Structure 1
Amino acid sequence: MAASVRNGRAGNLPAEANTFIGRQSELADISRLLGTARLVTLTGPGGVGKSRLALRAALAAREAFTGGGWLVELSELRNPDLLTNAVAQATRLTEQTLLPLLEALCEHLAGAPPLLLLDTCEHVLDECARLVLELLGRVPELRVLATSRQPLGVPGEHLLTVAPLPLGERDDAVALFAARATAAVPSFALTDANRASVAAVCARLDGIPLALELAAVRLRGLPLDRLLEGLDSRFDLLVSPARPRLARHQTLRTAIGWSHELCSPLERLLWARLSVFAGGWDVEAAEFVCHGGPLDAEDILGLLASLTEKSIVTREDDGAAVRYRMLDTVRSFGAEWLDGLGEADAVRRRHRDYFRWTARQGEAEWLGPGQRMWAERLSAEHANLRLAMEECLAASEPETALELAGTLWYFWFACGFAEEGRGYLERALRRAHTLGPEHTLAIWTHRLVTVVPDDLDAAESVSAAYVWLAEERHLPVPALPLTGASLAVRGESARSAVLYGSAPQWPGAGGGAEFFQLLTLAVQAYLLASQGAFERCAAVAERLRADCAKRGELWMRAWGDFFVSLSGIGLGRPDEALRTGREALAAKWRVHDQLGAAAVTDLLVAAQACRGEPELAAQLLGVSRRLWYAAGLPRLGNSETTVFRREYVRRLRAALGQARFAEAVREGHELGPDAAVTLALGGLPQQP
């Protein structure tokens, strides 16, 4: 059984893509250092294998870190101001929080000891140093393993320089080349007859793992002796005498440059243009961004396949979705060529415009059957959306930044990136000089994604008033969880529409206008529930559900399910409340809405308590607490700070006794997220 971990999760460390070769002494050194040092940084040139070694070490050490092992890949990060957001996202802390994000991150990491793996720090070195210093100072249990081409310079940092692989005929460099060559050409085998030639290839490439892997794939088209000759004749290719480089950097550049030389002219052009992507891309994005001149869009799929065969590009299959990416060192080489071609600005603009179009498409289709697909697609494109936002902010026309930041309201609000969206919106609004539809959209979106203490205080006042109402009417449950609903129906403009029958003019023809109509119904249901008018609340919620069902929409419909379930509790119909509450939770979980999942789980606590299931209700109370924490609003999961929790703690403790109540809450609290949702949906959770 895997170790029990903080938040019931083992972290996000990925499985290794292929066999790990060698590095046993380095792994032993890292293991020893992590036992005594709080920050260990692996340094060395690009391509020497720092990232792979760090991942292997983290996987080997994860049993000791019951708070989980968390990989934060920084090579895609272009804006250093988003470093904290990147760490929060990687560690599954959503950004819907009242706390400053750094403070919320420290709380999130506190508890059982976690291991944070910060990979590729050199381009955001100063920001990494500041963040690591803050985290280590505030989270005593934390250990950090970093990879960087230079030290972070943080007090207490322990450095381990990663050298190239040993070069003897029986050493690791030969073993790595042979393993990768066999993977590329199954008929290849390392024998006594060819071992010396393989060792010579490895020596030409200084035992640098990336260079060895790029060379090994060349065996698909060249015999080993021709491969060796090619390295001999091209050893100094692309090394500028005016810009001397370290020998290892020269060797890596030689290996990449030789791969470049073996590409066709169109493959080289595509390689250069693909370098504008942050993270990965799909075929559609590559066709739009990279076509032009001699490169036709219809040729790009075939060229991608060829670059994949040459190990310049890696292909990632995730079910029906196919994405591509490049190693950061390979990407940097392509970017230099793109600059040399004089195309960098034009291709970056096409990248920006493609993701502006993608955001508009997502908005238009968000309230429809493709909602889950869009949530997953935009999450996969997060790094590219950030890059497009930065391009818009750097453009001379501020309207482009207002438009993109505002158009992404559904991504910021529903997919857990409120803090990041708020930051982009504020930057865009500061640059705006004139009023217009883009400005109106950005203002509305900023209000939508901004949660302030007054929101929680107002919701708590409603919940407290309901306690009094429940006692007066002898309702079966002393408090209803309205706080989550109040957060879901944010927006003064929507509240104004409900109270005064007016609605602002929506800028543009996207999905925001439809969302506003649905949001108005949700606000009506919330206000009716807060007044105890549950029959009317259920009627409005049914209308909301029906309107969403016409569109095939999940996320907003789940709030309709929420209010139907809430009304069922208020009307003494717990079975109905349980059924619709579970429908709401299943939908929220499918679109990655952790805030919504936490709010719905509060409802399920009430429903199970009403049904006479105090033990399950107590377990769900622990689940709810964990989900509120994961959603970045730990205050709402604290047993002492909300009316809802105070009342249920009292009632369930009385029903179960203190010992069993505490144990049941702990059981729910320690479940992993999928197991917790399985329990809430009526299944048997798998233990972590």
Structure 2
Amino acid sequence: MAASVQGGRTGNLPAEANSFIGRRAELAVIAGLLGTERLVTLTGPGGVGKSRLALRAAHAARVGLPGGAWLVELSELRNPDLLTNAVAQATRLAEQTLRPLLQAVCEHLEGAPVLLVLDTCEHVLDECARVVQELLANVPQLRVLTTSRQPLGVPGEQLLTVAPLPLGERDDAVALFAARATATVPSFALTDANRAHVAAVCARLDGIPLALELAAVRLRGFPSDRLLEGLGSRFDLLVSPARPRPARHQTLRTAIGWSHELCTPLERLLWARLSVFAGGWDVEAAEFVCHGGPLDAEEILALLASLTEKSIVARDGQESPVRYRMLDTVRSFGAEWLTGLGEQEAVRRRHRDYFRWIARQGETEWLGPGQRMWAERLSAEHANLRLAVDECLTAPEPETALELTGSLWYFWFACGFTEEGRAYLERALRRAPKEGGPEHTLAVWAHRLVTVVPDDLEAAESVSAAYVWLAEERHLPVPALPLTGASLAVRGESARSAVLYGSVGQAPAGHGGAEFFQLLTLALQAYLLAGQAAFERCAAVAERLRAECAERGELWMRAWGDFFVALSGIGLGRAEEAVRHARAALAAKWRVHDRLGAAAVADLLVAAQAARGEDELAARLLGVSRRLWYAAGLPQLGRPDRTVFHREYERRLRASLGDARFSEVAGDGRALDPEAAIALALGGALDASDP
């Protein structure tokens, strides 16, 4: 075979310029695919390392290929008609012939298993697809490995999306940066003292290998502690002073700009407008926020698909509705273009208004069968909600911030973000006049609601007055709300709280906050009865709460009903019933992303399992409970030296199991990740159905 051996070696693969870091899983996948498939394409955004990964995979595959492994670099090729010439030249086809050149290349590659690597196909995509299809049809033992920012679209093509490097302090992104930094500045060393800072630099650059290598080079002139600060203008900072890398990789701006040049004008416009999203978005959000001018809403789905094919946008999982995201580096490039277009203010305002509408829709539908959907949707949109709130807080009209932060009361209160919600509400209220319309009333009400959970419960005693204002604005019946009594009860003043509690019959009718407080009234009554050890009455009220919630398809408040039924079961010596209801409460809390509530229910499960005599399981769940408090973002509540509950049950279980065994099983529980911890606590599959 003419192409088999040249200059004493098989193929034309260049030597690797420096050490190869990570990608073991990807290399294994590529090796497997090349063993069974004939065309493999590595896709991904610019600078993610497709070319280097393909070269490494080709070096590994060459050992078993008598016909060799041949690299065809296409980045400098501007005329698609010369693609076949580039393949002929790279594979050392020296024959001059009057036959069609592609036919000659096919014959040149015949005879033994051979690998052809076509690197950087996206700008000559159609011709690459044609040539590859012809080669595969006529060279039976040929394997083709391509790199491209979008698929070739050839039948039988197998795709592998190359992601950025993992970002943990001991993961590949940090290892790559450290290796390149040491090569650049020999005095550099990765230590425990600078590891977190290096990890922050890597995270700021999305773990993109090109960006990490360019950043490492900058250590020649930048102190490492200032590098992160300089990355705010990353496209200007990350410029390579060396020339060996391809022109498209000389700077990060050029690498991303290469993708930009491959886009149509409408794709570029959509890319720029999508840069206002934080975290991700779905099609509905993109259509609302990004339409306008030459870009019709009806075109956005097709343009999103095209940007996804070109590795500018990525699908975020397979869930429905489909969500999309961009790397922060790609987003920053689009944001620069949006500013250049003079559209930044208008598009950010549409983003803000869309999420104001989402917040209002969620409030309307929260107490119903869509509650889990809304919890998941708002959790997915958390970063966008924060951005919208921040935008409202800079708007000249203070009412927009009051309305948005107030409308999200159910998200702050029920989904585990009370501290964040309180901080936002305080900022909104500081900007607003002391007295005002319904937006001000709503924000005051929401702010005082979220103070029920944190330690400063005295502020909660004015919730009743705030709700009176809100009810008057919304023309609802005005109840005597029980939060003053709840505040007193939590401080241990049970007798006084019972006097101030008020009647359940005074609960308001209506929707939104009014309906929520109707249920909250029952939950607080159960709470107060439990505090007075009136467990039969507590269970009866809690069952009524569960029934009221079941009618609405509501999960979050119903979980508190299960909680109090379980608590009453422990008090009445019905441990099996307590475990069933506690598990139902935990499943529901986890489904609606209430991590704080899940941690509290996990504590109850410790007591329930201990009451059953399952001391080892109770000890393991005590470790799980501490793990969940950390997951809730309140580690101090899960520390054994801070929590009376934990101290008491640790003492009991240590006495029962012995110090060594207790420490072992509690440590096992604490070591679990949150999902595994929940699975252990539930004793099986996640299920929020009736016990």
TM-score tier by shorter-chain length is 0.5 to 0.7
**RMSD of aligned Cα (Å):** 4.6
* Correspondences of 1:389-468 after superposition (within 5 Å): 389-433=389-433, 434-450=435-451, 451-453=453-455, 455=457
Give 1:528 deviation, angstroms.
0.3
Residues 680/268 of structure 1: CA separation in 2 closer, same or farther (3 Å cut): closer
Q: Residue 532 of structure 1 aligns to a residue in which SS?
A: coil
Equivalent residue, structure 1, for 2:534: 533
* 1:310/1:635 CA distance change after superposition, 3 Å: closer
C-alpha displacement at 1:600, in angstroms? 0.9
Relative to 1, partners in 2 of residues 1:379 and 1:489: Cα closer, same or farther, differing over 3 Å?
farther
Cα gap change, 1:150 to 1:526, in 2 (>3 Å): farther
**1:576 alignment partner AA:** E
Over residues 231-253 of structure 1, what are the superposed CA-to-partner deviations in whole Å (9 max), with x where a residue is unaligned?
Answer: xxxxxxxxxxxxxxxx7366347
Counterpart CA distance in 1 for 2:599 and 2:650 is: 17
The aligned amino acid for 2:502 is: Y
Q: Is the 8 A contact 1:119 1:146 kept in 2?
A: no
**Letter in structure 2 aligned against 1:390:** D
Counterpart-to-counterpart distance in 2, 1:523 and 1:316:
40
2:258 paired with 1:255:
yes
Which secondary structure does the structure 2 equivalent of 1:324 belong to? Answer: strand
Verify the 8 A CA contact 1:623 1:676 in the aligned structure 2.
Answer: yes
Name the CA distance, whole Å, in 2 between partners of 1:488 and 1:556: 19
Alignment of 1:331-410 (within 5 A): 331-410=331-410
**Where do 1:649-664 residues align within 5 Å?**
649-664=650-665
Give distance in 2, aligned partners of 1:268 and 1:534: 64
8 A contact 2:201–2:227 mirrored in 1: no
Structure 1: which 5+ runs fail to align?
1-12, 28-50, 64-109, 124-143, 174-202, 209-246, 459-484
Deviation at 1:153, TM superposition (A): 5.7
Number of the residue aligned with 2:3 = none
Look up the equivalent residue of 1:118 and give its one-letter code. Answer: A
Is 1:500 aligned with 2:582?
no
- Relative to structure 1, is the Cα distance of residues 665 and 338 closer, same or farther in structure 2, using a 3 angstrom cutoff? closer
Deviation at residue 322 of structure 1 after TM alignment: 1.3
- Kindly provide the CA deviation profile for residues 439-461 of structure 1, in whole angstroms up to 9, marking residues without a partner as x: 222122222333443559x9xxx
CA contact 1:538–1:567 (8 Å) conserved in 2: yes
Change (3 A) 1:412 1:577: same
Q: Does 1:308 align with 2:308?
A: yes
Deviation per residue, 1:568-626 (Å, 9 max, x gap): 11111111001111111111122222211111111111111111112211221222222
Cα distance in 2 for partners of 1:398, 1:162 equals 40
1:333 is displaced (CA, Å) by: 4.1
Residue 550 of structure 1: aligned partner: 551
- TM-score, normalized by length of structure 2? 0.60
Decide whether the 8 Å contact of 1:116 with 1:145 is kept in 2: no
* SS in structure 2 of the partner of residue 317 of structure 1: coil
1:403/1:438 contact within 8 Å kept: yes
Matches of 1:654 and 1:641, distance apart in 2: 20
CA gap of 1:496–1:272, structure 2 versus 1, over 3 A, is: farther
Q: Which residue of 2 aligns with 1:581?
A: 582
| Superposition TM-score, scaled by structure 1 size | 0.60
CA distance in structure 2 between the partners assigned to 1:532 and 1:305 by the alignment: 60
1:59 aligns with 2:179: no
C-alpha distance 638-145 of structure 1, shift in aligned 2 (>3 A):
farther
SS for the counterpart of 2:365 is: helix
Distance in 2 between residues matched to 1:326 and 1:681, nearest whole Å = 36
Q: Which runs of 5+ in 2 are unaligned?
A: 1-22, 27-42, 57-162, 176-191, 206-211, 232-236, 461-485, 687-691
1:129 maps to which residue? none
1:560: how far off? 0.5
Q: Is the 8 A contact 2:166 2:172 kept in 1?
A: no
Paired with 2:418 and 2:550, the residues of 1 have a C-alpha distance of 26
Is contact 2:602-2:624 (8 Å) kept? Answer: yes
* Structure 2 residue aligned with 1:290: 290
> What's the % identity of the aligned pairs?
66
Match of 1:118 among 200, 220, 243: 200
CA contact (8 A) 1:486 1:526 kept: no
CA distance in 2: counterparts of 1:149 and 1:377, whole angstroms: 41
Paired residue secondary structure (2:430):
helix
Q: What is the identity, as a one-letter code, of the residue corresponding to 2:591? A: R
Give 1:286 deviation, angstroms: 1.1
- Tell me which residue corresponds to 2:69: none
1:488 touches 1:596 (CA, 8 Å); kept in 2? no
Partner of 1:45: none
Give the match's secondary structure for 1:581.
helix
Where in structure 2 are the equivalents of 1:81-96 lying within 5 Å? none
Distance 1:535 1:404, change over 3 A: same
In the alignment of these two chains, the number of paired residues is 475
**2:596 — aligned with what?**
595
For residues 61-84 of structure 1, the C-alpha deviation after alignment (integer angstroms, 9 at most, x for no partner) is 999xxxxxxxxxxxxxxxxxxxxx
For residues 595 and 299 of structure 1, the distance between their equivalents in structure 2, rounded to whole angstroms, comes to 42
Tell me if the contact between 1:54 and 1:145 (Cα under 8 Å) persists in the aligned partners. Answer: no
Q: Which has the higher contact order (CA 8 A, sep 6+)?
A: 1
